[in-house]
Structures are given as C-alpha cells and as structure tokens.
Amino acid sequence: MRILIVDDDPFAGAMAEAILDAEGHDCKLVESGVEALDALGEAHEGFDLVISDMHMPLLSGLDLFREMRERGISTAFVLLTGDDPEPLHSQAPEIAACLMKDASLEVTLPAAVAGL
C-alpha cells in the first residue's frame, strides 16, 4: 500500500514509517498538513492511505481530513493522537481509525491498516 504519513514530530513520523515499512508498505513522510495537501494534489503520487497526527501547528489532523474531503480527495484516513482517541473519532466517524499514540502503536497501526 502507498501511504502518506503526516506528523510534525519527525521522530514520531519516522516511527510510524518504520512500523509500516516492516509490513511491506511504501511510505512517504511529510511534516505538515499543507505539505500533505500538496503531495495529495499531485495526481501521480497516488496514495492509498493517509495517516496523520492530530495536533500539528496551523492545520490539525482533523482539519486536514476535512480539507481533503472538501477538495474531493477520498483517500482513506487514519488519525493518530496523544489524547483519548474516542471523543475525537466521534467528531468525525468517517475516519477509518483513530489510534492512541503510545507503545501499542506497533500492533494497533498495522492491524488498522490491514483492516482497511
């Protein structure tokens, strides 16, 4: 799967990339919602999935998701957050998965991606 990872913390992003690389996915890492929209706008990039951090300066993960949908980009979306994921997910139930950023990510992230 071709996956776009969005995280303003390059270490957290690199960790998600490492997890998904290990599953055989092809990942690209960007550091902001704006960069993500640019990457998604270039048709030839053709991503199957966007995985984004929630809290980022300027454009949050949720903002990014809404902006994507407004622009008619229907790529599947997974949100990562340091806070309790449940209330966040209920704000946008169309998001494929909302996962807690902790040590369990090694297990929950591949599982969520595999379940798409």
Least Cα distance to 8 among 63, 76, 87 occurs for 63
* Closest among 19, 28, 37 to 75, alpha carbons compared: 37
Interface residue with another protein among 1, 39, 55, 108 (CB under 8 A) is 55
Pick the binder of another protein from 43, 102, 114, 115 (CB under 8 A).
Answer: 102
- Among positions 12, 37, 73, 88, the unique one binding another protein when judged by CB under 8 A: 12
Half-sphere exposure of 88 (CA within 13 A, CB side): 22
Positions touching another protein (CB under 8 A) are: 8-12, 14-15, 17-19, 21-22, 53, 55-57, 80-82, 100-103, 105-106
